[in-house]
Structure 1
């Protein structure tokens, strides 16, 4: 799997499935899962791509991007976001 966005989309899906209905994840959890490491230097460079993957999943209606529990547009959101199933 060479496309990092696909790997990150799958990581987001898996983490949300494991977390359960109505629960959220932090995008950094998907970056850590995709990197296979908790070492910041390994996962942190993936963060912009995690946001891209999350925006694509939100555009397809699969997930919702939130800030402070409220839905936001991931393309324009600044600061920490959370991800949950639609």
Structure 2
């Protein structure tokens, strides 16, 4: 299992104090990366369908490198 990131961590890194405004764009970007096969979205350590994910999610790369 690889390292994961929360969309809020990415939003905070680029948005500063306005990070909350970037949460949905960050989640949308994660869904696009899932569709491209680059990442998976997890909840509770289990891979979930991005369309069904409600609440906190984590993002993990599908490949190393």
TM-score over 0.5 for the pair: yes
Tell me which protein shows more strand as a share of its residues.
2
Flag the structure with more relative contact order, 1 or 2, with Cα contacts below 8 A and sequence separation at least 6: 2
Structure-2-length-normalised TM-score: 0.87
**Misfit runs of 4+, over 4 Å:** none
Counting helix residues as a fraction of each chain, which structure ranks higher? 1
Number of residues of Structure 1 aligned to a counterpart in Structure 2: 62
CA RMSD of aligned residues (A): 1.2
Q: Structure 1: which 5+ residue stretches go unaligned?
A: 1-20
- In structure 2, runs of 5+ residues without a counterpart are none
